[in-house]
Amino acid sequence: MLINTIQNLGRSGLSTIAGLGRAGAMLFGALKPSGRGFKLLPLLIKQLYVVGVQSLIIIVVSGLFIGMVLSLQGYTILVGYGAEQSLGQMVSLSLLRELGPVVSALLFAGRAGSALTAEIGLMKATEQLSSLEMMAIDPLHQIVAPRFWAGIISLPLLASIFSAVGIIGGHLVGVDWLGVDSGAFWSVMQSSVEWQEDIVNGGIKSIIFAIVVTWIALHKGYDAVPTSEGISKATTSTVVQSSLAILGVDFVLTAVMFG
């Protein structure tokens, strides 16, 4: 029994290390210079639309409601201490530091990450990737690289929109519904938000989350078993592993930035 357990642990460890190696090799192959940068620009623009623009609706709607809920919950706490005028500070800092980057990354993983995995997995199952190789076209440069850069560009912008819309939602509830003074809401927010500590650090989080989510999604699709069941498992694995990675990396980044 003990020997079987040790063997299973060793097998799982070796499988994980091998998977990380394949993921690193895939990323290196996609990012190494190919001499076709400008020729791939139309593909990048197309992927920016697919990955970024088509994720905009869920980001805006989610940001609005999260900002509204955050303002409502924050008001019920702050009013007990007579500090409801600080509602703008609480909403803005919560969104810029944590909720904006994290929630937008989780939504991005569920919407765009799963789509990337399914798309590349289907390309592998229908031998489209093999066809590119037969035509002397590197699928890592043609397929993976544009999607990777599109994810890195899109997520920080989506996180910024999420935070901005969330602040607007917080203002709608706090000022227009609960009666917090509008001038106090904005002035306290402006005086408390710092460029380096809040906005820049939030942007850095978004960029790192974008790398993590897009890398996992592309690797899972590229490494998927070329069957319907294999693609389904790879898509599910993308969402689960991306979500856990986002939360784990967020803790590390928060400890480094604000600890």
Tell me what pLDDT residue 86 has.
86
Res. 110 pLDDT band, cuts 50 70 90: very high
Q: Is the pLDDT of residue 130 over 90?
A: no
Q: How confident is the model at residue 6 (pLDDT cuts 50, 70, 90)?
A: confident
Tell me the per-residue pLDDT of 145-171, one tens digit each, with 9 for 90 and over. 899 999 999 999 999 999 999 999 999
pLDDT of residue 29: 67
Mean pLDDT confidence for 235-243 = 93
Measuring CA to CA, which residue among 77, 91, 82, 232 is closest to residue 171? 91
Query: 12 near 216, Cβ under 8 Å?
Result: no
Mean predicted confidence (pLDDT) in 120-133: 86
Report the alpha-carbon distance of residue 89 to residue 109 in Å, rounded.
28
What is the arithmetic mean of pLDDT over 197-210? 93
Tell me how far apart the alpha carbons of residues 185 and 187 are, in angstroms, rounded to a whole number.
Answer: 6
Give the single-character DSSP code of 85: G
pLDDT in tens, 19-65: 777 777 676 766 776 666 667 788 889 999 999 999 999 999 999 99
Residue 147 and residue 216: Cα distance in Å, rounded? 12
Residue 73: CB atoms within 10 Å: 12
d(CA 71, CA 182): 13
- pTM over 0.85? The answer is yes
Please state the separation of Cα 92 from the chain's center in Å: 20
Q: Which two tokens stand for residue 177?
A: 């519904």
Q: How far is CA 147 from CA 41, 50, 152, 204, 217, in A?
A: 11, 9, 9, 20, 10
Classify each residue of 85-95 as buried b or exposed e, where b means 16 or more C-beta atoms within 10 Å of its C-beta. Answer: bbbbbbbbbbb
Cβ-based neighbour number of residue 41 at 10 Å: 11
pLDDT of residue 1: 67
Contact 98, 254 (CB under 8 A): yes
Runs of H (alpha helix) within 138-200: 139, 145-171, 182-192
Q: Are 137 and 34 in contact (CB under 8 A)?
A: no
Give the mean pLDDT of the chain. 88
Nearest one of 99, 26, 36 to 254, comparing CA atoms? 99
Mean pLDDT of 86-91: 89
Q: What is the pLDDT of residue 196?
A: 84
pLDDT over 70 for what percent of the chain?
95
Selection from 25-39, 66-80, 152-166, 223-237 with the highest mean pLDDT: 152-166
Percentage of residues of the chain with pLDDT beyond 90? 51
In this predicted model, which residue has the larger pLDDT, 137 or 206? 206
pLDDT winner (highest mean) among 12-21, 81-90, 239-248: 239-248
